Structure 1
């Protein structure tokens, strides 16, 4: 797979100070300052935060609110880049203690694609991690520019060991996709502690513990079908380890840290090159009949990426992070962040404008739901503001894969309604008394 590099500098780089969940960074620079590539420009003393770095050399022309891929605005450092590759001094690290390694992860600005700072995933407050999983089922080599498949396997395996060390975990696994033959070939026979591992498919009721015993190794490489969705962590954890994560909790509550290829690659670069997380690979679909992959500097506006790939037609919609579950953008000046993995373009004639009609009770949404919910029922209750009943029907288990909306012949916006209900429940139950109706807290059914 060819990964292009965006060499042309954009007119401006927009680097949000909020590229992670947790405390928003405070700017460390001011208007008029000259910054270098890799220079830390935002930080927070809070544990649940992650540093932000400049991806270019140039002058800070503003610190103001700007568009963010999540659909809102965020305080951002806006830089006018100059044609220079001047960087701060990058210093590789060796033989770091687990504490120093976790500190390096925070200082390097490494975060997961789902938003959590990686060091908080590995060392969550008050919890112990015993297993680290790298979810490579949807990576498609997006973690970085690897020279060869074997280099990809070697670097990701090295990164897994670093992640395990930082977490204090004894066991770890890399989970590939069953139809990703390139990755499977790359990892097949990889050596760990002088043992050659084989890629083992997760079949039947077998979980990760079986393969630890079978291969007599604390590190294994597995494969499974790809799981789509924005909330897959709990489902993924159960599918791989067999550990059930309760609604409202996350994998760290059962001793599992889930990381992605992107953060694994960033950690490898931080340790071996001293390089912070300031560039990333994104995929671009809709420009041609095949997917484009391009290495870009964080903070690059979508507009510059689209133009660099040769798109000249009318754009009907720009979507960040996938057509099924992503967020439609209101401007092409929104920047790439650490959590950006895909940019999808739709021409005006490709936008589906069908009006939803009444549910015909075909149960197709039930058939495709990977977590055995009844989306058609949840959709009705969410639309009517019956959030307590949604909660009783385990709406929190939805992984937001979007399959229900795709197969619905009535074109009902099932996923959007489920998200609406989940957000309402999250807000309502934060402070609500156990027997108090959540609906009255949210302005529904006459409440305020």
Structure 2
């Protein structure tokens, strides 16, 4: 198993945003001058699609104000001056939990998936009943903490799948591995489900999970498929695994499907067996100190700058700081941003490591078309977006883009294909009446730094 370090240094302040999810900003439950302890609820969810926030440290609340957020905006946050006390609320594990107890545990613990969606709203959406739960274990950056690598925890994941099914009321569930993850496949095939050996079945052609539920006569199965990554993969993941096609405006829940990541399973493990709410996470850190990637357990609210300093500091000529991956992450304009529940990685790049800045005209090589998992034409979409022709982008299905970044990575002309497609999608969203703008204090405005919309 990979080593996971624990960040034990005591920073000068912790910044805990009251929004670490896709819903509304939480209502603060503390005031300036109050003392807080580890695990104390300090932000109450205001809507069903929000998740409560808990303190990750002991200390004094020094301010409640808008603060930098890793999504590029400013969000109301609770600022805490930590002390070295280890006092915590009473963590109460749950033995033999019922479905309602599991659901309440997930909701009260503030568990949020990597997408930012609260897990309780994934498992029990307002509008639909869930009949199938999927654990997406195809991406290694989601494998954290005690479940650091899937092949080290097959028994736990099978049990957690049962818990997620129980909490949602689903009648069946599946763990989806990557076809090239041979270690995990071998580890699962040494386990059993209800006394029967696990057989990891590949998703091939029209043989989706429904075929294997029937073939194996089980309500829990383990399958494998090609690795897929990106910001908005839920619908295409649903199609690959279940065969159900969903338009961009629909969600897997509209088909009765709940998709959770290994991060969600790990947080549920902590909530059930240790009684801990979600206030810490494991992130990958690259380009710091000696430059080698490291994994570190950090408390939510820890500033990027404190993590970087504690792990060796910036290298000479460091020029770029990225949250959540170089392919689809967000470049930060300050290191005074905190780790939140959805933070998976921090990457620092030197000037030498930056991709080539110069872009050149499209050479019509179609490489971007070849690698697009959604069968779009990224080069054409980028030209239309650059010219502000968003209706035509919409007609060419730009909203189907899952923002995986493969097109930009392979482009020999170094064109900003991903950013231009994102720009077009944002413009199209703003054309609808129900568009919800970012917080008023956001630093993000409609306009593309790579030349779009002029």
TM-score by length of 2: 0.91
Distance apart, 1:246 and its partner CA: 1.4
In the superposition, relative to structure 1, how do residues 146 and 100 fare at CA in structure 2: closer, same or farther (>3 Å)? closer
With over 3 angstroms needed to count, the CA separation of the structure-2 counterparts of 1:430 and 1:154, relative to structure 1, is: farther
Whole-angstrom distance in 2 between the partners of 1:150 and 1:349? 36
Deviations 1:152-178 (A, max 9, x none): 222222221111111110111111122
Name the SS for the 2:153 alignment partner.
helix
| Residue aligned with 1:362, SS | coil
Q: How does 1:283-298 map to 2 (within 5 A)?
A: 283-287=284-288, 288=290, 290-298=292-300
CA distance in 2, matches of 1:361, 1:151: 45
Secondary structure, aligned partner of 2:145 = coil
For residues 17 and 148 of structure 2, the distance between their equivalents in structure 1, rounded to whole angstroms, comes to 30
Instruction: Mark the runs of 5 or more structure 1 residues left unpaired by the alignment.
Output: 433-441
Give the equivalent residue in structure 2 for 1:32. 33
* SS in structure 1 of the partner of residue 43 of structure 2: strand
Q: Which runs of 4+ in 1 moved over 4 A?
A: 146-151
Q: Is the 1:142–1:282 contact (alpha carbons within 8 Å) kept by the matching residues of 2? A: no
Query: Aligned partners of 1:138, 1:206: CA distance in 2, in Å?
Result: 22
- 3-state DSSP of counterpart to 1:316: strand
In 1, the alpha carbon distance for the partners of 2:106 and 2:409 equals 38
**Structure 2: 5+ residue stretches without partners:** 436-445
Q: CA deviation at 1:443?
A: 10
Counterpart of 1:391 (choices 375, 389, 394) is 394
The verdict on how the C-alpha distance between 1:152 and 1:430 changes in structure 2, with shifts beyond 3 A counting, is farther
Post-superposition Cα deviations, 1:25-81, rounded to whole Å, max 9, x if no partner, equal 011011111111100000124211110000111111111111111011111111111
Number of equivalenced pairs: 436
1:150–1:244 distance in 2 versus 1, CA, 3 Å: closer
Distance in 2, matches of 1:281 and 1:380, equals 39
User: Over residues 319-346 of structure 1, what are the superposed CA-to-partner deviations in whole Å (9 max), with x where a residue is unaligned?
Assistant: 0001011000011111100000011110
Q: Which moved more, 1:249-258 or 1:190-199?
A: 190-199
- 1:134 aligns to what? 135
Would the aligned equivalents of 1:13 and 1:301 in 2 still touch at CA under 8 Å? Answer: yes
Alignment correspondent of 1:334: 337
Does the residue aligned with 2:296 lie in a helix, a strand or coil? strand
1:149 deviates by 6.2
TM-superposed deviation, 1:266 = 0.7
Q: Which residue of 2 aligns with 1:260?
A: 261
The structural deviation recorded for 1:419 is: 0.6
Map of 1:377 onto structure 2: 380
CA distance in 2, matches of 1:431, 1:336: 30
- Give the match for residue 439 of structure 1: none
- What is the correspondence of 1:66-85 to structure 2 with a 5 Å cutoff? 66-85=67-86
What do residues 248-267 of structure 1 show as CA deviations (whole Å, max 9, x unaligned)? 11111111111011111111
Change (3 A) 1:195 1:60: same
Cα distance in 2 between the residues matched to 1:443 and 1:350: 26
Residues 242-251 or 178-187, more deviating: 178-187
In structure 2, the CA distance between the partners of 1:185 and 1:310, relative to structure 1 (3 Å rule), is: farther
Secondary structure in structure 1 of the residue aligned to 2:270: helix
Q: Could you tell me whether the CA contact under 8 Å between 2:423 and 2:447 is conserved in 1?
A: no
The yes-or-no answer on 1:419 pairing with 2:422 is yes
Q: Is the 8 A contact 1:155 1:265 kept in 2?
A: no
Post-superposition shift, 1:121? 0.7
The structural deviation recorded for 1:17 is 0.3
